[in-house]
Amino acid sequence: MRRVIGYVCLFLGGLVFLLGVLARPVIYHNLATVPLDQKTTLRSVGEHMTALEISKTGVRVIKDATLENFKIVLGVPGKAKGNNAFWQYVVVSKEVGGKVLDQSQEGVSFDRVSGEATNCCGDFKSAPTPEDVNKINDNYKHKGLFFKFPFDTQKTTYLWWDGDLGRAEPMKYLRTEKVQGVQTYVFQQKSGPEVYGKQKGVPGELFHSKKPVDANLVYENTRTLYVEPNTGIIIKGVEQQNKRLEAPGYAAVPTTIGTIGYTDATIKQNIKDSSKGSMLGFIKGPLTPIGIVLGLLLIGGGMALVLIDASSTRSTHRI
């Protein structure tokens, strides 16, 4: 009986030892990659916001409005190459119960582990208005992180893509904080105020002028992201926006002003998507030493039982 138990311990010990040895280089490596066929819809809502509505019939400033923003992410496996994913990104901003204010689409290729943009697979960007959304720049280049942080996110500064500025800006680590029971790393990116474009012939009525006005597009934004560190998935996102038109001699005209952030339903969905985070943390961390030590103990115990049983059998035969 001891010999049978010993062989069982040897077998289990070998499996556990092998599991520990392969945990990081094989198991974690295969699990810590983003899917090619991603399908996600993120909804943000901001109350008491100010926005500029531009349409074919004219322009108007919307005040004390509730705005919502939909970000639809759709993976395109057919455009992926090597260790890169290609995800299409559609953004629709609108007043709740009202018209669409902005709409754009973007295609981004990025490394499936680090999350860094690679521009390998035909990145593109459309014009950011409902009327021009089908005008595509198919020679667009991205840099830094776009959709998520890397697996095994560190407490450091990353470069995060800012679509308004058209470049990657520093995203600094601030602190750790729990979001609905999930431990997250909090990062923040502060941009502007900065002139990021010019708009000629803005309707004079916005500036209380009798003639069109040439204005600067001014951008200012504080973006705060709450990241589950094992998966790099963003659990919660909040933006404090202050986008406006400025012209010498006139009061600034707001285009988007206020705070907007993920809804509770979106946060819950992101938490569900990041559910393998604790498992990844265990595989990358304690599984290796636990597997190796426990495996060696089982192998040692199994060998001892087999040898003791063999010794007892020989003694019995001698008698």
What single-letter DSSP state applies at residue 291? H
pTM score, whole prediction: 0.84
φ, ψ for residue 228, nearest 5 deg:
-75, 115
Q: What does the pLDDT read at residue 172?
A: 98
Half-sphere CA count of 137, side-chain side, radius 13 A: 12
Residues found in the chain: 319
Predicted confidence (pLDDT) per residue in 44-88, tens digit: 999 999 998 876 667 888 899 999 999 999 999 999 999 999 999
Q: Which token pair is 29?
A: 């490596």
Nearest to 298 by CA among 13, 85, 6, 4: 13
Is the confidence at residue 251, as pLDDT, over 70? yes
Q: What does the pLDDT read at residue 199?
A: 87
Where along the chain do its domains lie?
1-32+295-314, 33-283
Q: What does the pLDDT read at residue 256?
A: 93
Q: pLDDT band for position 243 (50/70/90)? A: very high
User: Measured between alpha carbons, how far is residue 29 from residues 23, 190, 255, 310 in Å?
Assistant: 9, 33, 45, 42
What single-letter DSSP state applies at residue 248? T
